Chains A and B, each alone.
Chain A
Amino acid sequence: MSRFRVAVHIVPRKGILDPQGKAVSDALHALGFDGVSDTRIGRHIVLHIAAPDAKAADAQVREMCGKLLANPVTEDFEIATVERA
């Protein structure tokens, strides 16, 4: 078993109204960042886990996202990094 540090991004699914993201987009426009077309605000979760290899660590975290970390009704997740810790 090795230790891994896995980072996950969880964001509101496309098409789901994200009022926080919209408010931030509006604020960025007010600052002159006209190029911003969309902002999605979600969560960044960092897990330290034991797994035989990186692939197994990735698979474990995917299962965690499916069961708890993300809500499959409204959120998408993306495993950002899997690093040996």
Chain B
Amino acid sequence: MKFGIVTFPGSNCDYDSYHAVADSLGLPAVYLWHKSTDLQGVDVVILPGGFSYGDYLRAGAIARFSPIMQEVATHARAGGPVLGICNGFQIACEAGLLPGALLRNANLQFVSDTVRIRVENADTMFTSRCEVGDVLRIPVAHGDGRFTADDNTLDRLEGEGRVVFRYVNEHGVPDAVANPNGSMRDIAGIISSEGNVLGLMPHPERAMEDLIGSADGRRIFESLLARVSA
């Protein structure tokens, strides 16, 4: 399985993502330049974290117009897996690949921490190696992570099992303190209706080795491996 990692001007987790795929998992990975229109035959696209286009206007708003994003959208419409991490989640929402929007953290602070997220749906290509209720420890680093959508959209996401991750405390229960950004319904990550686009604010690519604090991010990549190669 080959991973493509998009590099926008201002991306800063593209190297982390490359490290996660190429070094931690030992799989083929290529960078996809934002001006390119060639996905180079990759199976999975990662939209990495960072501050694409300086977060001008709104986080992710400009990145969606880059040439590579037209190809990513085509890939997604054809059912190809897309993993949007942090800024990548913001871009996926702005591009209409996922519903809702990510707004300024409720406390107006940039948050850099390791949080706990609970798996709410293990029947996705990104969580098949997890069980519902599993709690993963994953770093976050963002200023605009407050997932926001109207009530109808939130109810639909919940009803369709598309809330994949929720912020929880050390007891595995959502609460206002455990939620680092004030996201509605403590949402940390959601999936598209077709189940092939996952967006999440936490950084699984920065949790690939126990040496740096957590290897829980591997579960997401290993799920993807199991499902896509199956």
A-side interface residues toward B, CB under 8 Å?
12, 16-17, 19-20, 23, 43, 68-69, 71, 73-74
Contacts and interface: CB of A to CB of B under 8 A. Distances in A.
Interface stretch (B68-76, B97-105, B131-139, B210-218): B97-105
B149 A17 contact: no
A69 B57 contact: yes
Interface residues of B: mostly helix, strand, loop or mixed?
loop
A19 B101 contact: no
A19 B108 contact: yes
Size band of the interface chain B makes with A: 20 to 34
Interface string B60-103: 01000100000000000000000000000000011000011101
* Residue from the set B101, B107, B149 with the largest chain A CB neighbour count within 10 Å: B101
A71 B61 contact: yes
Contacts, number: 36
30 contacts: A12-B103, A16-B103, A17-B106, A17-B146, A17-B148, A17-B182, A19-B104, A19-B105, A19-B106, A19-B107, A19-B108, A19-B182, A20-B104, A20-B108, A23-B108, A43-B57, A68-B57, A68-B61, A68-B65, A69-B57, A71-B58, A71-B61, A71-B101, A73-B93, A73-B99, A73-B148, A73-B149, A74-B101, A74-B103, A74-B148
Contact of B101 (A17, A43, A73): A73
Contacts of B61: 68, 71
